[in-house]
Structure formats: structure tokens, C-alpha cells
């Protein structure tokens, strides 16, 4: 189960990236509690989060629900936006490079930052490692929009250049089932309401 962090005071306004010190807003904390409420009855075996404050705070209600301690997984971290970190999204959308970010992200590397291809490789590898460490169990990972979109694109067999077509809203839950010898099954994408226990076989 893949969960994007809740909203912050700057969600939708700036590109925060890996800049430290960004915390959930009050609505974001309410969203995080809603995620935990939706996870009631899910036999969660382990919780992992990106090291950023906003993801760790989003995981806290789920930690309380399960009495599990979330483990920090470095490779679930946000994309390194390099020189674009902290910049206003409206300003970035005016740059000629923005079209490449939207239409051909596999060819783009952020100035002094990370490429989308590297971001996808490390996040998919992290998900593979975590599911193999908890075979047959439910793992909940708290991360960020672009890394989760990249994981979902990989699970769907979609080229990275089309991953911007996938929407991952704040505190949405996306669910992938992995079975030995089979292709991944995407059970939910960008789900924001309703209980999730019914997705897990009894």
C-alpha cells in the first residue's frame, strides 16, 4: 500500500523537494488520521516512510493504530529537484524545460539534481526489497507524488514518459498486489475514501 503524505502549507504552490523543515498543515494531519481510519482491519506487517518530516508525520496515526514503529527507507525520499527546489510552481511552468518534464520525463534531469529515470529505479528497487522482506504480508509505504507515480507506472507496465498521466493526491492510497511468478496487480490507484480491509484476502 502506497500512501502520499498529507498537505502542507505550500502544497500546490512550490516544489519543496528535499528541503528540510516542511511539516503537515492542520488539514494534512486530518488527512493522515483519515488514512489510518481507512486502514482499520488491514493486517499490516510493516510501515516504511521517506525520511522527510511530512511523510513521517503522515505515518504517525497509522503507527498508533498498529502499534508498529515506522522504519525510514531512504529510497522512498522525494525526487532531488536540485536547483528547482523551493521554487514557485507557477514560475517553473513558464520555463521551456517544463514541457520536457511533462512530455518526456525519462530524458530529463533536474539541474544539479536527479533524473526521473534514477528516481524510478531507486523507488521500484525499494518497493521490491520491502515486499521481499515481508513476503505474504501487507506493507504500507509513505512517500511522495512523483516517486509513487513512478512505482505505479512500473507496476502498470507503462513507460516513464507517460507517468505524468497518473494522479496521486495527498493522502491517497494506491495498492499493488505481488504474487510469485505473476505480473503485479494494481488493485487501487489514488484512492481517497472508503475502507481498505476488503482488499486483503482473508
pTM over 0.95: yes
How far, rounded to the nearest angstrom, does the alpha carbon of residue 198 sit from its chain's CA centroid?
Answer: 22
Map grid coordinates 518534464 to a residue.
Answer: 101
- How do strand 138-143 and strand 2-4 relate by DSSP bridges? parallel
Q: Which fold is adopted by the domain 2-179?
A: Rossmann fold (3.40.50)
Label residue 193 exposed, middle or buried (CB < 10 Å: 0-12, 13-18, 19+): exposed
| C-alpha–C-alpha distance, residues 93 and 168, integer Å | 19
Confidence of residue 202 (pLDDT cuts 50, 70, 90): low
Nearest to 175 by CA among 146, 148, 136, 202: 148
Q: Compute the CA torsion angle 7, 10, 15, 21 (nearest 10 deg).
A: -90
42-57: pLDDT as tens digits: 999 999 999 999 999 9
145-164: pLDDT as tens digits: 999 999 999 999 999 999 99
DSSP 92: H
187 CB neighbour count, 10 Å cutoff: 14
At residue 76, φ and ψ (nearest 5 deg) are -90, 5
Amino acid at each position: 500500500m502506497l500512501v502520499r503524505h498529507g498537505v502542507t502549507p505550500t502544497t500546490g504552490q512550490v516544489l519543496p523537494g528535499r528541503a528540510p523543515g516542511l511539516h503537515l498543515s492542520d488539514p494534512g494531519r486530518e488527512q493522515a488520521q483519515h488514512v489510518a481510519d481507512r486502514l482499520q482491519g488491514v493486517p499490516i506487517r510493516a510501515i516504511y516512510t521517506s525520511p522527510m518530516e511530512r511523510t513521517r508525520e503522515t505515518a504517525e496515526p497509522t503507527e498508533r493504530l498498529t502499534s508498529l514503529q515506522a522504519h525510514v527507507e531512504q529510497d522512498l525520499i522525494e525526487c532531488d529537484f536540485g536547483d528547482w527546489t523551493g521554487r514557485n510552481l507557477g514560475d517553473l511552468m513558464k520555463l521551456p524545460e517544463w514541457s520536457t518534464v511533462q512530455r518526456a520525463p525519462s530524458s530529463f534531469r533536474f539541474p544539479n539534481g536527479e533524473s526521473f529515470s534514477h528516481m524510478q529505479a531507486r523507488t521500484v528497487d525499494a518497493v521490491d526489497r520491502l515486499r521481499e522482506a515481508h513476503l505474504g504480508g501487507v506493507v504500507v509505504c509513505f512517500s511522495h507524488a512523483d516517486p509513487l507515480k513512478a512505482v505505479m507506472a512500473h507496476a502498470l507496465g507503462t513507460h516513464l514518459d507517460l507517468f505524468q498521466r497518473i494522479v496521486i493526491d495527498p493522502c491517497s492510497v494506491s495498492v499493488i498486489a505481488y504474487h510469485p511468478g505473476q505480473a503485479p496487480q494494481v488493485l487501487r490507484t489514488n484512492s481517497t475514501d472508503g475502507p481498505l480491509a476488503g482488499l486483503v484476502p482473508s
